[in-house]
Amino acid sequence: MERDDTREGLHCLVTGATGYIGGRLVPELLVAGHRVRCLARSPDRLRDHPWANHAEVLGGDVTDAGSVARALEGVDVAYYLVHSMSSGKDFEETDRRAARIFAEQARAAGVRRIVHLSGLTPAGVPEDGLSPHLRSRAEVARILLDSGVPATVLRAAVVIGSGSASFEMLRYLTERLPVMVTPSWVRTRIQPVAVRDVLGALVGSARMPSHISRTFDVGGPDVLTYRQMMLRYATVAGLPRRVVLSLPFLTPGLSSHWVGLVTPVPASLARPLTESLRHEVVCHEHDISRYVAGPPAGPTGFDDAVRLALRRVREARVSTRWSSASVPGAPSDPLPTDPGWAGGSLYDDQRELAVDAPPGALWRVIEGIGGDNGWYSFPLAWAVRGCLDRLAGGVGLRRGRRDAAHLRVGDSLDFWRVEEIEPGRLLRLRAEMRLPGLAWLEMRVSTGADGRTRYRQRALFHPRGLLGQAYWWSVSPFHAIVFGGMARNIARAAASKAACAPGRAPAA
Protein backbone atom coordinates (compact mmCIF):
# COMPACT_ATOMS: atom_id res chain seq x y z
CA MET A 1 0.00 0.00 0.00
CA GLU A 2 1.58 3.28 -1.11
CA ARG A 3 1.59 6.05 1.48
CA ASP A 4 2.17 9.79 1.47
CA ASP A 5 5.21 10.18 3.70
CA THR A 6 5.88 13.86 2.96
CA ARG A 7 4.34 14.77 6.32
CA GLU A 8 3.88 12.87 9.54
CA GLY A 9 0.64 10.95 9.55
CA LEU A 10 -2.17 11.81 11.94
CA HIS A 11 -4.05 9.46 14.22
CA CYS A 12 -7.65 9.41 12.96
CA LEU A 13 -10.80 7.96 14.47
CA VAL A 14 -13.58 7.00 12.05
CA THR A 15 -17.06 6.44 13.42
CA GLY A 16 -19.57 4.92 11.04
CA ALA A 17 -16.95 2.72 9.34
CA THR A 18 -19.63 0.11 8.60
CA GLY A 19 -21.56 2.72 6.63
CA TYR A 20 -21.30 3.83 3.03
CA ILE A 21 -18.94 6.78 3.42
CA GLY A 22 -16.99 5.49 6.43
CA GLY A 23 -16.12 2.18 4.78
CA ARG A 24 -14.66 4.04 1.81
CA LEU A 25 -12.93 6.74 3.85
CA VAL A 26 -10.75 4.39 5.91
CA PRO A 27 -8.58 3.15 3.00
CA GLU A 28 -8.24 6.70 1.66
CA LEU A 29 -6.88 7.83 5.05
CA LEU A 30 -4.50 4.88 5.15
CA VAL A 31 -3.15 5.67 1.68
CA ALA A 32 -2.66 9.30 2.80
CA GLY A 33 -0.32 8.01 5.52
CA HIS A 34 -2.59 8.31 8.55
CA ARG A 35 -3.14 5.77 11.31
CA VAL A 36 -6.80 4.79 11.55
CA ARG A 37 -8.94 3.54 14.41
CA CYS A 38 -12.58 2.58 13.81
CA LEU A 39 -15.39 2.64 16.35
CA ALA A 40 -18.21 0.27 15.42
CA ARG A 41 -21.15 -1.27 17.23
CA SER A 42 -20.60 -4.48 15.25
CA PRO A 43 -16.83 -4.86 14.65
CA ASP A 44 -17.38 -8.23 12.94
CA ARG A 45 -19.01 -6.40 10.03
CA LEU A 46 -15.61 -4.93 9.16
CA ARG A 47 -13.80 -8.26 8.79
CA ASP A 48 -14.40 -8.56 5.05
CA HIS A 49 -13.13 -5.09 4.17
CA PRO A 50 -9.87 -5.19 2.20
CA TRP A 51 -8.32 -2.78 4.69
CA ALA A 52 -9.35 -4.70 7.83
CA ASN A 53 -5.77 -5.72 8.73
CA HIS A 54 -4.46 -2.17 8.35
CA ALA A 55 -6.75 -0.39 10.83
CA GLU A 56 -7.49 -0.74 14.54
CA VAL A 57 -11.10 -1.68 15.28
CA LEU A 58 -12.85 -1.04 18.59
CA GLY A 59 -16.33 -2.10 19.59
CA GLY A 60 -18.53 0.63 21.00
CA ASP A 61 -21.41 3.01 20.46
CA VAL A 62 -21.46 6.79 20.02
CA THR A 63 -24.27 6.99 22.56
CA ASP A 64 -21.99 5.46 25.24
CA ALA A 65 -19.62 8.07 26.71
CA GLY A 66 -17.21 5.44 28.01
CA SER A 67 -16.63 3.73 24.68
CA VAL A 68 -16.33 7.09 22.91
CA ALA A 69 -13.73 8.25 25.46
CA ARG A 70 -11.66 5.09 24.95
CA ALA A 71 -11.86 5.43 21.17
CA LEU A 72 -10.69 9.06 21.26
CA GLU A 73 -7.56 8.44 23.36
CA GLY A 74 -4.54 9.76 21.47
CA VAL A 75 -6.59 10.76 18.43
CA ASP A 76 -5.72 13.87 16.40
CA VAL A 77 -8.70 13.98 14.03
CA ALA A 78 -12.13 12.48 14.75
CA TYR A 79 -14.49 11.74 11.88
CA TYR A 80 -18.13 11.75 12.91
CA LEU A 81 -20.01 9.88 10.16
CA VAL A 82 -23.07 8.50 11.95
CA HIS A 83 -26.66 9.53 11.41
CA SER A 84 -29.86 7.68 12.13
CA MET A 85 -31.94 6.85 9.05
CA SER A 86 -34.87 5.45 10.99
CA SER A 87 -38.25 7.13 10.88
CA GLY A 88 -39.07 6.53 14.53
CA LYS A 89 -40.17 9.35 16.80
CA ASP A 90 -36.95 9.33 18.84
CA PHE A 91 -34.32 9.43 16.12
CA GLU A 92 -33.75 13.19 16.45
CA GLU A 93 -33.19 12.88 20.20
CA THR A 94 -30.83 9.92 19.62
CA ASP A 95 -28.81 11.91 17.09
CA ARG A 96 -28.72 14.93 19.40
CA ARG A 97 -27.54 12.90 22.40
CA ALA A 98 -24.87 11.05 20.40
CA ALA A 99 -23.49 14.30 18.95
CA ARG A 100 -23.29 15.92 22.39
CA ILE A 101 -21.47 12.94 23.86
CA PHE A 102 -19.01 12.90 20.98
CA ALA A 103 -18.40 16.66 21.21
CA GLU A 104 -17.83 16.53 24.97
CA GLN A 105 -15.47 13.56 24.81
CA ALA A 106 -13.53 15.01 21.87
CA ARG A 107 -12.91 18.21 23.83
CA ALA A 108 -11.88 16.25 26.93
CA ALA A 109 -9.47 14.09 24.91
CA GLY A 110 -7.74 17.07 23.32
CA VAL A 111 -8.73 16.14 19.78
CA ARG A 112 -7.34 18.68 17.30
CA ARG A 113 -10.26 18.56 14.84
CA ILE A 114 -13.68 17.03 14.29
CA VAL A 115 -14.71 16.34 10.67
CA HIS A 116 -18.36 15.68 9.91
CA LEU A 117 -20.32 14.96 6.73
CA SER A 118 -23.78 16.51 6.82
CA GLY A 119 -26.63 17.19 4.43
CA LEU A 120 -26.84 20.25 2.23
CA THR A 121 -29.72 22.40 3.41
CA PRO A 122 -31.61 24.90 1.23
CA ALA A 123 -30.91 28.60 1.68
CA GLY A 124 -33.63 30.69 3.23
CA VAL A 125 -35.59 27.77 4.70
CA PRO A 126 -35.86 27.85 8.51
CA GLU A 127 -35.02 24.64 10.35
CA ASP A 128 -38.66 23.99 11.25
CA GLY A 129 -39.44 24.00 7.52
CA LEU A 130 -36.89 21.27 6.74
CA SER A 131 -37.59 17.56 6.56
CA PRO A 132 -36.98 15.82 9.92
CA HIS A 133 -33.75 14.25 8.72
CA LEU A 134 -32.30 17.43 7.23
CA ARG A 135 -33.31 19.26 10.40
CA SER A 136 -31.55 16.66 12.53
CA ARG A 137 -28.41 16.83 10.41
CA ALA A 138 -28.32 20.61 10.74
CA GLU A 139 -28.66 20.31 14.52
CA VAL A 140 -25.87 17.72 14.78
CA ALA A 141 -23.59 19.99 12.74
CA ARG A 142 -24.32 22.90 15.06
CA ILE A 143 -23.55 20.80 18.15
CA LEU A 144 -20.18 19.75 16.73
CA LEU A 145 -19.30 23.30 15.67
CA ASP A 146 -20.10 24.52 19.21
CA SER A 147 -18.00 21.77 20.84
CA GLY A 148 -14.94 23.92 21.52
CA VAL A 149 -12.95 21.70 19.14
CA PRO A 150 -12.17 23.10 15.66
CA ALA A 151 -14.67 21.41 13.34
CA THR A 152 -15.08 20.98 9.60
CA VAL A 153 -18.64 20.25 8.50
CA LEU A 154 -18.99 19.26 4.86
CA ARG A 155 -22.52 19.56 3.48
CA ALA A 156 -23.40 17.41 0.46
CA ALA A 157 -26.61 16.72 -1.41
CA VAL A 158 -26.96 13.49 -3.47
CA VAL A 159 -23.75 11.41 -3.41
CA ILE A 160 -23.14 9.48 -6.64
CA GLY A 161 -21.46 6.12 -6.14
CA SER A 162 -22.46 2.47 -6.15
CA GLY A 163 -23.87 1.64 -2.73
CA SER A 164 -25.03 5.16 -1.89
CA ALA A 165 -28.72 4.95 -0.96
CA SER A 166 -29.49 8.08 -2.99
CA PHE A 167 -27.70 6.70 -6.04
CA GLU A 168 -29.26 3.25 -5.71
CA MET A 169 -32.73 4.80 -5.65
CA LEU A 170 -31.89 6.75 -8.80
CA ARG A 171 -30.44 3.61 -10.41
CA TYR A 172 -33.41 1.37 -9.78
CA LEU A 173 -36.08 3.93 -10.65
CA THR A 174 -34.42 4.66 -13.97
CA GLU A 175 -33.57 1.09 -14.92
CA ARG A 176 -36.92 -0.44 -14.01
CA LEU A 177 -39.33 2.17 -15.32
CA PRO A 178 -39.16 3.22 -18.99
CA VAL A 179 -42.25 5.35 -18.32
CA MET A 180 -42.40 6.95 -14.87
CA VAL A 181 -45.25 8.67 -13.11
CA THR A 182 -43.37 10.49 -10.38
CA PRO A 183 -43.88 12.90 -7.48
CA SER A 184 -43.39 16.62 -7.99
CA TRP A 185 -39.93 16.47 -6.41
CA VAL A 186 -38.51 15.29 -9.75
CA ARG A 187 -38.49 19.00 -10.65
CA THR A 188 -36.33 19.92 -7.64
CA ARG A 189 -32.88 21.29 -8.47
CA ILE A 190 -30.01 19.29 -6.96
CA GLN A 191 -26.23 19.57 -7.07
CA PRO A 192 -24.98 15.97 -6.93
CA VAL A 193 -21.40 15.13 -6.05
CA ALA A 194 -19.22 12.13 -6.86
CA VAL A 195 -18.25 10.01 -3.88
CA ARG A 196 -14.57 10.28 -4.82
CA ASP A 197 -14.79 14.07 -4.50
CA VAL A 198 -16.52 13.80 -1.11
CA LEU A 199 -13.80 11.46 0.13
CA GLY A 200 -11.09 13.77 -1.15
CA ALA A 201 -12.60 16.67 0.81
CA LEU A 202 -12.90 14.53 3.94
CA VAL A 203 -9.28 13.38 3.77
CA GLY A 204 -8.01 16.89 3.04
CA SER A 205 -9.99 18.32 5.96
CA ALA A 206 -7.76 16.45 8.40
CA ARG A 207 -5.02 19.03 7.83
CA MET A 208 -7.16 22.14 7.74
CA PRO A 209 -5.65 25.14 9.64
CA SER A 210 -6.53 25.06 13.34
CA HIS A 211 -8.29 28.46 13.28
CA ILE A 212 -10.88 27.25 10.72
CA SER A 213 -14.13 25.96 12.20
CA ARG A 214 -17.15 26.19 9.90
CA THR A 215 -19.39 24.50 7.33
CA PHE A 216 -18.43 24.02 3.68
CA ASP A 217 -20.72 23.14 0.79
CA VAL A 218 -19.42 20.35 -1.47
CA GLY A 219 -20.94 19.58 -4.84
CA GLY A 220 -20.13 18.63 -8.39
CA PRO A 221 -20.12 20.99 -11.38
CA ASP A 222 -23.67 20.12 -12.49
CA VAL A 223 -26.96 21.46 -11.12
CA LEU A 224 -29.78 19.20 -12.31
CA THR A 225 -33.38 18.38 -11.53
CA TYR A 226 -34.04 14.83 -10.40
CA ARG A 227 -35.77 14.27 -13.75
CA GLN A 228 -32.64 15.36 -15.60
CA MET A 229 -30.58 13.05 -13.43
CA MET A 230 -32.76 10.09 -14.40
CA LEU A 231 -32.61 10.94 -18.10
CA ARG A 232 -28.84 11.37 -18.03
CA TYR A 233 -28.40 8.16 -16.03
CA ALA A 234 -30.35 6.33 -18.75
CA THR A 235 -28.06 7.75 -21.43
CA VAL A 236 -24.86 6.78 -19.60
CA ALA A 237 -26.21 3.30 -18.80
CA GLY A 238 -27.18 2.71 -22.44
CA LEU A 239 -30.92 2.56 -21.75
CA PRO A 240 -33.63 3.85 -24.10
CA ARG A 241 -34.81 7.36 -23.36
CA ARG A 242 -37.14 7.46 -20.33
CA VAL A 243 -40.47 9.28 -20.18
CA VAL A 244 -40.94 11.05 -16.84
CA LEU A 245 -44.30 12.51 -15.77
CA SER A 246 -44.85 14.16 -12.41
CA LEU A 247 -47.95 14.14 -10.21
CA PRO A 248 -48.20 16.83 -7.52
CA PHE A 249 -50.46 14.87 -5.17
CA LEU A 250 -47.88 12.16 -4.33
CA THR A 251 -46.88 13.00 -0.73
CA PRO A 252 -43.49 11.99 0.75
CA GLY A 253 -45.19 9.10 2.52
CA LEU A 254 -46.81 7.84 -0.67
CA SER A 255 -43.58 8.47 -2.55
CA SER A 256 -41.60 6.30 -0.14
CA HIS A 257 -44.07 3.42 -0.55
CA TRP A 258 -43.94 3.88 -4.32
CA VAL A 259 -40.11 3.77 -4.25
CA GLY A 260 -40.25 0.71 -1.98
CA LEU A 261 -42.59 -1.02 -4.45
CA VAL A 262 -40.53 -0.24 -7.55
CA THR A 263 -37.05 -0.65 -6.08
CA PRO A 264 -35.39 -2.87 -3.44
CA VAL A 265 -34.52 0.23 -1.39
CA PRO A 266 -36.49 -0.25 1.86
CA ALA A 267 -39.42 2.14 2.33
CA SER A 268 -38.05 3.08 5.77
CA LEU A 269 -34.92 4.39 4.03
CA ALA A 270 -36.73 5.77 0.99
CA ARG A 271 -38.91 8.04 3.15
CA PRO A 272 -36.13 10.29 4.53
CA LEU A 273 -34.55 10.37 1.08
CA THR A 274 -37.76 11.46 -0.65
CA GLU A 275 -38.62 13.92 2.12
CA SER A 276 -35.26 15.61 1.61
CA LEU A 277 -35.87 15.89 -2.13
CA ARG A 278 -38.67 18.39 -1.49
CA HIS A 279 -36.00 21.06 -1.02
CA GLU A 280 -33.67 22.57 -3.58
CA VAL A 281 -30.15 21.70 -2.53
CA VAL A 282 -27.58 23.74 -4.42
CA CYS A 283 -24.17 24.86 -3.15
CA HIS A 284 -23.89 28.54 -2.28
CA GLU A 285 -20.11 28.64 -1.89
CA HIS A 286 -17.06 26.61 -2.82
CA ASP A 287 -14.70 27.83 -0.11
CA ILE A 288 -13.42 24.32 0.57
CA SER A 289 -11.08 24.76 -2.44
CA ARG A 290 -9.15 27.39 -0.45
CA TYR A 291 -8.05 24.79 2.09
CA VAL A 292 -8.31 21.39 0.38
CA ALA A 293 -6.85 20.62 -3.04
CA GLY A 294 -9.48 19.27 -5.39
CA PRO A 295 -9.05 16.58 -8.07
CA PRO A 296 -6.34 17.51 -10.64
CA ALA A 297 -8.92 17.43 -13.44
CA GLY A 298 -11.47 19.41 -11.44
CA PRO A 299 -14.71 18.26 -9.80
CA THR A 300 -16.21 15.10 -11.29
CA GLY A 301 -19.22 15.75 -13.51
CA PHE A 302 -22.49 13.87 -13.07
CA ASP A 303 -22.07 11.68 -16.18
CA ASP A 304 -18.53 10.68 -15.24
CA ALA A 305 -19.63 9.95 -11.66
CA VAL A 306 -22.33 7.62 -12.98
CA ARG A 307 -19.84 5.90 -15.29
CA LEU A 308 -17.52 5.31 -12.36
CA ALA A 309 -20.38 3.90 -10.30
CA LEU A 310 -21.40 1.52 -13.10
CA ARG A 311 -18.10 0.50 -14.64
CA ARG A 312 -17.02 -2.15 -12.15
CA VAL A 313 -20.29 -3.51 -10.84
CA ARG A 314 -19.55 -6.69 -12.77
CA GLU A 315 -16.15 -7.30 -11.22
CA ALA A 316 -17.20 -6.30 -7.71
CA ARG A 317 -20.44 -8.26 -7.64
CA VAL A 318 -19.41 -11.40 -9.51
CA SER A 319 -15.75 -12.04 -8.90
CA THR A 320 -14.16 -13.14 -5.66
CA ARG A 321 -11.46 -10.49 -5.60
CA TRP A 322 -12.70 -8.98 -2.33
CA SER A 323 -11.84 -12.08 -0.37
CA SER A 324 -8.16 -11.83 -1.24
CA ALA A 325 -7.62 -8.16 -2.01
CA SER A 326 -5.18 -6.23 0.15
CA VAL A 327 -6.19 -2.78 -1.09
CA PRO A 328 -9.57 -1.38 -2.02
CA GLY A 329 -10.87 -0.68 -5.48
CA ALA A 330 -12.04 2.74 -6.61
CA PRO A 331 -14.24 4.69 -4.16
CA SER A 332 -17.19 4.30 -6.54
CA ASP A 333 -17.03 0.50 -6.39
CA PRO A 334 -19.38 -1.62 -4.28
CA LEU A 335 -17.99 -2.95 -1.00
CA PRO A 336 -18.71 -6.36 0.53
CA THR A 337 -20.56 -4.74 3.43
CA ASP A 338 -22.90 -2.65 1.25
CA PRO A 339 -26.57 -3.59 1.67
CA GLY A 340 -27.79 -6.53 -0.38
CA TRP A 341 -29.98 -4.23 -2.47
CA ALA A 342 -27.02 -2.04 -3.49
CA GLY A 343 -25.05 -2.40 -6.71
CA GLY A 344 -27.97 -3.09 -9.05
CA SER A 345 -29.94 -6.29 -9.54
CA LEU A 346 -27.92 -9.49 -9.79
CA TYR A 347 -29.98 -12.63 -10.26
CA ASP A 348 -28.43 -15.90 -9.25
CA ASP A 349 -29.30 -19.54 -9.92
CA GLN A 350 -27.19 -21.83 -7.74
CA ARG A 351 -26.86 -25.63 -7.78
CA GLU A 352 -24.63 -27.77 -5.57
CA LEU A 353 -24.18 -31.53 -5.61
CA ALA A 354 -22.01 -34.22 -4.06
CA VAL A 355 -20.17 -36.12 -6.78
CA ASP A 356 -19.11 -39.76 -6.67
CA ALA A 357 -15.77 -39.04 -8.29
CA PRO A 358 -12.42 -37.53 -7.32
CA PRO A 359 -11.99 -33.79 -7.95
CA GLY A 360 -9.73 -34.43 -10.95
CA ALA A 361 -12.41 -36.42 -12.78
CA LEU A 362 -14.99 -33.71 -12.17
CA TRP A 363 -12.60 -31.03 -13.38
CA ARG A 364 -11.91 -32.88 -16.63
CA VAL A 365 -15.62 -32.86 -17.40
CA ILE A 366 -15.93 -29.16 -16.60
CA GLU A 367 -12.90 -28.17 -18.66
CA GLY A 368 -14.18 -30.24 -21.59
CA ILE A 369 -17.61 -28.60 -21.69
CA GLY A 370 -19.06 -27.10 -24.87
CA GLY A 371 -18.13 -27.65 -28.50
CA ASP A 372 -18.61 -31.26 -29.58
CA ASN A 373 -19.09 -32.31 -25.94
CA GLY A 374 -22.18 -30.15 -25.57
CA TRP A 375 -23.58 -28.59 -22.42
CA TYR A 376 -24.87 -31.69 -20.61
CA SER A 377 -28.46 -30.50 -20.58
CA PHE A 378 -31.46 -30.35 -22.91
CA PRO A 379 -29.53 -30.19 -26.23
CA LEU A 380 -32.60 -28.90 -28.09
CA ALA A 381 -32.89 -25.89 -25.77
CA TRP A 382 -29.22 -24.97 -26.30
CA ALA A 383 -29.58 -25.41 -30.07
CA VAL A 384 -32.67 -23.21 -30.17
CA ARG A 385 -30.95 -20.56 -28.05
CA GLY A 386 -27.99 -20.62 -30.42
CA CYS A 387 -30.24 -20.20 -33.47
CA LEU A 388 -32.12 -17.32 -31.87
CA ASP A 389 -28.83 -15.64 -31.06
CA ARG A 390 -27.68 -15.89 -34.69
CA LEU A 391 -30.99 -14.49 -35.90
CA ALA A 392 -30.44 -11.53 -33.55
CA GLY A 393 -26.99 -10.95 -35.02
CA GLY A 394 -25.05 -12.83 -32.35
CA VAL A 395 -22.39 -15.53 -32.62
CA GLY A 396 -24.62 -18.51 -31.80
CA LEU A 397 -23.02 -21.87 -31.09
CA ARG A 398 -20.90 -21.97 -34.23
CA ARG A 399 -17.55 -21.01 -32.65
CA GLY A 400 -17.01 -24.28 -30.78
CA ARG A 401 -13.75 -24.39 -28.84
CA ARG A 402 -10.02 -23.98 -29.54
CA ASP A 403 -8.93 -27.24 -27.91
CA ALA A 404 -11.02 -30.32 -27.17
CA ALA A 405 -9.65 -30.84 -23.65
CA HIS A 406 -8.08 -27.64 -22.32
CA LEU A 407 -9.16 -24.04 -21.83
CA ARG A 408 -7.36 -20.80 -21.12
CA VAL A 409 -8.50 -17.29 -20.21
CA GLY A 410 -9.83 -15.49 -23.30
CA ASP A 411 -10.85 -18.63 -25.20
CA SER A 412 -14.17 -18.49 -27.02
CA LEU A 413 -16.48 -21.34 -26.12
CA ASP A 414 -19.60 -21.42 -28.31
CA PHE A 415 -21.42 -18.23 -27.28
CA TRP A 416 -19.38 -17.86 -24.08
CA ARG A 417 -15.86 -16.63 -23.37
CA VAL A 418 -13.53 -17.88 -20.64
CA GLU A 419 -13.24 -15.02 -18.16
CA GLU A 420 -11.36 -16.83 -15.39
CA ILE A 421 -9.92 -20.27 -14.87
CA GLU A 422 -8.21 -21.79 -11.84
CA PRO A 423 -7.14 -25.29 -12.94
CA GLY A 424 -8.84 -27.94 -10.88
CA ARG A 425 -11.05 -25.42 -9.04
CA LEU A 426 -12.91 -22.78 -11.04
CA LEU A 427 -14.18 -22.03 -14.53
CA ARG A 428 -16.07 -18.77 -15.12
CA LEU A 429 -17.62 -18.04 -18.49
CA ARG A 430 -18.99 -14.70 -19.66
CA ALA A 431 -21.91 -14.77 -22.09
CA GLU A 432 -21.40 -13.22 -25.52
CA MET A 433 -24.84 -14.00 -26.90
CA ARG A 434 -27.24 -11.10 -27.48
CA LEU A 435 -28.81 -10.35 -24.10
CA PRO A 436 -30.46 -7.37 -22.37
CA GLY A 437 -27.81 -7.49 -19.68
CA LEU A 438 -24.63 -9.31 -18.61
CA ALA A 439 -24.50 -13.03 -17.83
CA TRP A 440 -21.97 -15.51 -16.43
CA LEU A 441 -21.81 -19.24 -15.83
CA GLU A 442 -19.53 -20.35 -13.02
CA MET A 443 -18.49 -23.94 -12.17
CA ARG A 444 -16.46 -24.85 -9.09
CA VAL A 445 -14.84 -28.00 -7.71
CA SER A 446 -14.19 -28.42 -3.99
CA THR A 447 -13.98 -31.05 -1.27
CA GLY A 448 -16.59 -31.03 1.49
CA ALA A 449 -16.05 -31.56 5.20
CA ASP A 450 -17.09 -35.19 4.68
CA GLY A 451 -14.26 -35.70 2.19
CA ARG A 452 -16.61 -35.99 -0.80
CA THR A 453 -16.16 -34.00 -4.00
CA ARG A 454 -18.58 -31.10 -4.35
CA TYR A 455 -19.75 -29.45 -7.56
CA ARG A 456 -21.13 -25.91 -7.37
CA GLN A 457 -22.71 -24.19 -10.33
CA ARG A 458 -23.91 -20.58 -10.57
CA ALA A 459 -25.70 -18.82 -13.39
CA LEU A 460 -25.69 -15.05 -12.85
CA PHE A 461 -27.50 -12.30 -14.73
CA HIS A 462 -27.15 -8.54 -14.34
CA PRO A 463 -30.17 -7.10 -16.23
CA ARG A 464 -30.15 -3.90 -18.22
CA GLY A 465 -33.40 -2.01 -17.93
CA LEU A 466 -36.94 -3.34 -17.85
CA LEU A 467 -36.27 -5.64 -20.81
CA GLY A 468 -33.51 -7.32 -18.82
CA GLN A 469 -35.84 -7.83 -15.86
CA ALA A 470 -38.50 -9.30 -18.16
CA TYR A 471 -35.94 -11.59 -19.82
CA TRP A 472 -34.81 -13.11 -16.52
CA TRP A 473 -38.30 -13.77 -15.23
CA SER A 474 -39.40 -15.22 -18.58
CA VAL A 475 -36.60 -17.80 -18.67
CA SER A 476 -36.33 -18.54 -14.94
CA PRO A 477 -39.14 -21.20 -15.04
CA PHE A 478 -36.87 -23.28 -17.30
CA HIS A 479 -33.80 -23.05 -15.09
CA ALA A 480 -34.65 -26.22 -13.16
CA ILE A 481 -34.62 -28.12 -16.45
CA VAL A 482 -31.64 -26.45 -18.10
CA PHE A 483 -29.32 -25.64 -15.19
CA GLY A 484 -30.58 -28.31 -12.82
CA GLY A 485 -30.17 -30.96 -15.50
CA MET A 486 -26.76 -29.60 -16.38
CA ALA A 487 -25.49 -29.95 -12.80
CA ARG A 488 -26.83 -33.49 -12.47
CA ASN A 489 -25.43 -34.63 -15.82
CA ILE A 490 -22.00 -33.14 -15.16
CA ALA A 491 -21.91 -35.00 -11.82
CA ARG A 492 -22.95 -38.26 -13.56
CA ALA A 493 -20.37 -37.80 -16.32
CA ALA A 494 -17.62 -37.29 -13.74
CA ALA A 495 -18.72 -40.39 -11.83
CA SER A 496 -18.73 -42.38 -15.07
CA LYS A 497 -15.24 -41.20 -15.99
CA ALA A 498 -13.98 -42.14 -12.53
CA ALA A 499 -15.59 -45.57 -12.69
CA CYS A 500 -14.05 -46.30 -16.09
CA ALA A 501 -10.60 -45.03 -15.21
CA PRO A 502 -7.76 -47.56 -15.44
CA GLY A 503 -7.35 -49.57 -12.29
CA ARG A 504 -10.97 -49.10 -11.16
CA ALA A 505 -13.82 -51.47 -11.63
CA PRO A 506 -16.97 -50.08 -13.28
CA ALA A 507 -19.68 -49.03 -10.88
CA ALA A 508 -22.47 -51.55 -10.38
What tens digit of pLDDT does each residue of 98-124 get? 999 999 999 999 999 999 999 888 877
pLDDT tens-digit map of 379-402: 777 777 778 767 766 666 667 777
Burial 252-276 (b: 16+ CB within 10 A, else e): beebbbbbbeebbbebebbbbbbbb
| Pair (69, 185) in one structural domain | yes
- The pLDDT value given to residue 145: 96
Of 420, 407, 412, 413, residue with least CA distance to 372: 413
Cα torsion 381, 387, 393, 396: sign: positive
365 in the same domain as 302:
no
Report whether 466 contacts 175 (CB < 8 A).
Answer: yes
Q: Give me the half-sphere count of Cα atoms (radius 13 Å) on the Cβ side of residue 274.
A: 25
Which whole-number Å values give the CA distances from 186 to 244, 284, 441, 466, in the listed order? Answer: 9, 21, 39, 20
Q: Say whether both 411 and 278 belong to one domain.
A: no
Report the distance separating Cα 258 and Cα 137, nearest Å.
Answer: 25
Task: Please indicate, yes or no, if residue 504 is contained in any of the structural domains.
Answer: no
| Beta-strand runs (E) in 345-436 | 347-355, 412-413, 416-422, 426-431
Q: State which of 324, 356, 380 marks the end of a domain.
A: 324
- pLDDT, residue 3, reads 42
pLDDT under 70: residue ranges of the chain? 1-7, 85-89, 248-258, 260-261, 267-268, 312-344, 389, 392-398, 501-508
Which CATH number covers residue 272? 3.40.50.720
- Rg over CA atoms, the chain: 26
Residues 37, 71: contact at Cβ < 8 Å? yes
Domain membership flag for residue 112: yes
Please check whether residue 331 lies inside any domain of the structure.
Answer: no
**Which 3 state secondary structure label does DSSP give 121?**
coil
42 in any annotated domain: yes
Q: Which CATH number belongs to the domain containing residue 430 in this structure?
A: 3.30.530.20
pLDDT of residue 339: 63
CB atoms within 10 A of CB 129: 12
Domain count across the chain: 2
Give the C-alpha distances (Å, rounded to integers) separating 469 from 176, 293, 444, 473. Answer: 8, 43, 27, 6
Task: Domain of residue 255: give its range.
Answer: 11-324
pLDDT of residue 252: 59
Whole-number Å distance between alpha carbons of 437 and 413: 19
107 vs 215: CA distance, rounded Å: 19
pLDDT tens, 226-281? 899 999 999 998 888 888 877 766 665 666 666 766 777 776 677 777 777 777 88
Q: Is residue 335 part of a domain?
A: no
Alpha helices in 146-266 (DSSP H): 165-176, 195-205, 226-236, 252-262
The DSSP code sequence of 277-325 is: TTS-B--S--GGGGTS---TT-SPPHHHHHHHHHHTHHHHHHS-HHHH-
Residue 248 confidence (pLDDT) = 67
